[in-house]
């Protein structure tokens, strides 16, 4: 009897051990669902997901910026006394940013693509290319000679690695959209989802790649050209019956990268400061006035002592210093990477050119409402849906052109993209976090924010003149349109009652430029400029959101 009990006990121990091992194997298998126990990525079908994904691939031209908390706004001297950038505590999520400003060479690649795919000699596409061209006349000065710059700065190889200028905020945004599509097109090609080299040999205006289209209606990408969409399958996956599976990449595949975009003002300022070099455990060991450590614009290191640390205007009539040893190496813009990077590996976050950021300008940052990834400028949209329930893909007949305040025509969408419409009550009804599509003037510029607010306040086009002048931001309202022959008709706002230049179409730009004194090199400084205009001292760089972990080097816990 005792021996039988011992044998039964031994058998029970063995069974428990086997069950434990089986359980461990099941829980450690990344292709087994911890929710249901079902297999993931099975050849028999079912749920498909990239369970081997490690972390986001750093996109071309970018560096990783680990997010954190910082004091946004002016923390040093403020001789202007305008309280335009009062200090406020903000937290930034990790993201990526271009290590340099977008250069002439990078922008010329964009122009070359537009010219090949949307040939300007075709009247249908003419304004796509022309609308993307930088304004080279920004170099002209009434009392200065600069014709050499207007003719050569953009295209001459001598300026290839200099930051592009003459680009409006609108053009910078369109460039970022184009760059997103080109990088994802490359990633999909390298992963075997699309035909190799089709991006350069077979793309046309009617058959091209859009990231949004590939995600929402992949079979309609490249105009539905199956040869391109199926020609890249080097490792065709099939189910148990031999039917192809995972024909198209999805968000779940982990291959498609987030959008390139302009950085928010908070992101740009955080990245420019490079506070990581002052971090000691969970506090900062002081404040920073410039992207580099120290309170001065000249280097204190013995090897380079006295050299300027950025390209800026040193004084009246002094854009580069005396020729020779003390010269800073530039009288206009400088070649990117001419100066040392900051602690994040970013070049020219002070000087060279100022840079567009995504935000609509307001004199205040409303940290009382939000202190996480602060951004003013959200305009929420959704995919337009056809009557049959499919997403609407734009054709050449659907291109929307805007005539800007300076008369320039720009394309706001391109054939092959998914049509977008504003969100409506289907998305906003009873939502606590947003209740309208356009949030640019939320809490600062809408009628409820006005100091003259009353229940019968009217913001419509039929509003009386007196009520119009009582809005918080009463900027000039110029009108520009074209007649049936394409001639520009300009109507200037000559009202003497205008009190501000601020409206929802002015954007923030940050950082000093080759034209600015040292005061503007402080990353906290902020200025604004109309989003459809350009200058010879404002350029831009792109950013990209980080998906997944906050850091690339997680803490080791003993």
What structural domains does the chain harbor?
62-377+505-545 (3.90.1580.10), 446-454+465-503 (no CATH)
pLDDT of residue 109: 98
What three-state secondary structure class fits 69? strand
The 10s digit of each residue's pLDDT in 377-397 is: 999 999 999 999 999 999 998
Is the whole-model pTM more than 0.85? yes
Q: Nearest-CA neighbor of 528 among 552, 496, 556, 501? A: 501
The 10s digit of each residue's pLDDT in 31-56 is: 899 999 999 988 777 888 888 888 89
What is the total residue count of the chain?
558
| Band (102; pLDDT cuts 50, 70, 90) | very high
> DSSP states of 366-413 as a string?
-TTT--BS--S--B-EEE-B-TTSPBPBP-GGG--EEE-TTS-EEES-
Q: What percent of the chain has pLDDT over 90?
A: 52
Sign of the CA dihedral with 232 first, then 235, 239, and 241 last: positive
The 10s digit of each residue's pLDDT in 499-524 is: 888 889 999 999 999 999 988 999 99
Query: Is the distance from CB of 540 to CB of 262 less than 8 angstroms?
Result: yes
Q: Where are the alpha helices (DSSP H) in 79-234?
A: 104-117, 126-132, 147-152, 169-190, 198-201, 211-216, 226-230
What three-state secondary structure class fits 41? coil
| Band (463; pLDDT cuts 50, 70, 90) | very low
Sign of the CA dihedral with 33 first, then 36, 37, and 38 last: negative
Q: Where are the alpha helices (DSSP H) in 423-541?
A: 425-428, 465-468
pLDDT of residue 299: 64
Judging by beta carbons within 10 Å of its beta carbon (0-12, 13-18, 19+), is residue 42 exposed, middle or buried? middle
Give CA torsion, residues 353, 355, 361, 365, to 10 deg.
-110
The 10s digit of each residue's pLDDT in 290-339 is: 887 777 676 666 655 557 778 888 888 888 777 766 677 888 999 999 99
Mean pLDDT of 239-259: 85
């Amino acid at each position: 009897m005792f021996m039988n009990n011992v044998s039964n006990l031994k058998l029970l121990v063995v069974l428990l051990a086997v069950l434990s091992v089986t359980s461990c194997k099941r829980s450690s298998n990344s292709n087994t669902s911890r929710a249901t126990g079902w297999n993931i990525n099975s050849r028999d079908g079912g749920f498909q997901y990239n369970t081997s994904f490690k972390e986001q691939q750093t996109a071309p031209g970018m560096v990783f910026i680990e997010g954190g908390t910082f004091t946004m706004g002016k923390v040093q001297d403020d001789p202007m006394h305008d309280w335009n950038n009062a200090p406020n505590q903000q937290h930034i999520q990790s993201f990526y940013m271009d290590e340099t400003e977008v250069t002439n060479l990078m922008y010329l690649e964009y122009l070359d693509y537009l010219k090949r795919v949307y040939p300007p000699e075709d009247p249908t596409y003419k304004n796509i290319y022309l609308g993307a061209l930088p304004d080279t006349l920004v170099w002209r000065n009434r009392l200065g000679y600069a014709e050499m710059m207007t003719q050569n700065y953009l295209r001459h190889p001598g300026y290839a690695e200099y930051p592009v200028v003459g680009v409006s905020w609108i053009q910078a945004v369109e460039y970022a959209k184009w760059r997103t599509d080109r990088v994802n097109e490359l990633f999909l090609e390298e992963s075997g989802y699309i035909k190799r080299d089709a991006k350069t040999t077979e793309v046309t205006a009617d058959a091209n790649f859009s990231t949004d289209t590939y995600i929402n209606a992949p079979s309609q990408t490249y105009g539905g050209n199956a040869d391109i969409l199926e020609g890249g399958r080097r490792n065709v996956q099939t189910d148990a019956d031999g039917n192809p599976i995972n024909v198209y990449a999805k968000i779940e595949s982990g291959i498609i990268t987030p959008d390139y975009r302009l950085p928010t003002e908070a992101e740009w300022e955080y990245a420019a400061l490079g506070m990581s070099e002052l971090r000691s455990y969970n506090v900062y060991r002081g404040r920073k006035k410039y992207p580099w450590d120290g309170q001065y614009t000249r280097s204190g290191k013995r090897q380079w002592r006295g050299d300027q640390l950025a390209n800026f205007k040193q004084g009246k009539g002094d854009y580069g210093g005396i020729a020779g040893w003390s010269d800073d190496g530039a009288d206009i813009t400088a070649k990117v990477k001419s100066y040392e990077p900051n602690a994040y590996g970013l070049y020219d976050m002070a000087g060279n050119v100022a840079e567009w950021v995504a935000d609509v300008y307001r004199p205040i940052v409303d940290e009382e409402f939000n202190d996480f990834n602060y951004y003013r400028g959200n305009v929420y949209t959704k995919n337009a849906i056809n009557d049959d329930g499919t997403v609407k893909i734009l054709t050449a007949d659907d291109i929307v052109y805007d005539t800007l305040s300076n008369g320039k025509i720009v394309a706001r969408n391109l054939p092959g993209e998914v049509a977008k419409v504003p969100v409506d009550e289907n998305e906003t009804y009873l939502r606590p976090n947003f209740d309208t599509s356009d949030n640019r003037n939320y809490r600062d510029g809408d009628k409820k924010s006005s100091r003259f607010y009353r229940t019968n306040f009217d913001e419509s086009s039929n509003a009386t003149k007196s009520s119009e002048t009582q809005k918080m931001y009463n900027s000039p309202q110029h009108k520009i349109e074209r007649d049936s022959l394409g001639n520009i008709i300009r109507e200037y706002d000559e009202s003497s009652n205008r009190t501000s230049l601020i409206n929802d179409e002015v954007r923030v730009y940050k950082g000093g430029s080759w034209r600015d004194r040292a005061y503007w090199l402080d990353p906290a400084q902020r200025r604004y400029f109309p989003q459809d205009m350009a200058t010879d001292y404002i350029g831009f760089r792109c950013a990209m959101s980080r998906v997944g972990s906050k850091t690339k080097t997680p803490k080791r816990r003993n």
